[in-house]
Amino acid sequence: MLQKKICLLGAFSVGKTSLIQRFVSSLFDDKYLTTVGVKIDKKIVTVDQQEIMLMIWDLAGEDDYNTLNKNHLRGAAGYILVIDGTRPKSLDVGLAVHDKVKEALGDVPVVVALNKADLIDEWILDADQLAKLEEKLPVLRTSAKTGDNVELLFSELAARLQ
């Protein structure tokens, strides 16, 4: 079976682990549990009648205590950039991470998850910045809590993998 490595990247507490949990185990826990280090999950998806084993690398979020280790990106076929709609800072961090990844991996497929869509009334992202992001990259509004667009998020990325 075809195997592809993908990474979930973004600022801390944007919901990377929750998205993976929702996708892999159909579970969600409202409590924020930080990630330390790397955890790898697997799930098979079907693209054009072909099964692909996704090796999903959950990398600890970027913040004052942790920066992205580029060696962890080695061999990644694509990545999901996660942004929390309720935290403008997560958009800045996400864009900076995107630049770093482009530098390390080149133009591999990416899909942006604007997460916490269940809290859309509390979203405070800058509309111009958001519009620019949507012009450049495929963006999906997701909610790990309700499961909205989570399957689609991973299948969109899987469909774009070479």
Q: Does 89 bind another protein (CB under 8 A)?
A: yes
Q: How far is the CB of 95 from another protein (least distance, A)?
A: 16
**2 vs 38 by CB, closer to another protein:** 38
Applying CB under 8 A, which part among 84-92, 98-106, 128-136, 142-150 lies near another protein?
84-92
Q: Does 69 bind another protein (CB under 8 A)?
A: yes
Size of the site for another protein (CB under 8 A): 25
Q: Does 128 bind another protein (CB under 8 A)?
A: no
Q: Does 70 bind another protein (CB under 8 A)?
A: no
Q: Does 119 bind another protein (CB under 8 A)?
A: no
84, β-bridge pairs: 115
Looking at 44, 50, 65, 126, which residue binds another protein (CB under 8 A)?
65
CA neighbor of 74 nearest in space, from 6, 161, 156: 6
- Sign, CA dihedral 100-106-108-110, equals positive
8 Å CB contact between 125 and 91: yes
Residue type, 106: G
**118 vs 137 by CB, closer to another protein:** 118
**18 vs 149 by CB, closer to another protein:** 18
Q: How far is the CB of 13 from another protein (least distance, A)?
A: 6
137-142 long-range contacts (CB < 8 A, ≥24 apart) are: 137/81, 137/98, 137/110, 137/111, 137/112, 138/110, 138/111, 138/112, 139/111, 139/112, 139/114, 140/111, 140/112, 140/113, 140/114, 141/85, 141/114, 141/117, 142/19, 142/113, 142/114, 142/115, 142/117
Question: What residues make contact with another protein under the rule CB under 8 A?
Answer: 5, 12-13, 32-34, 36-40, 55, 63-66, 69, 71-72, 74-75, 87-89, 124
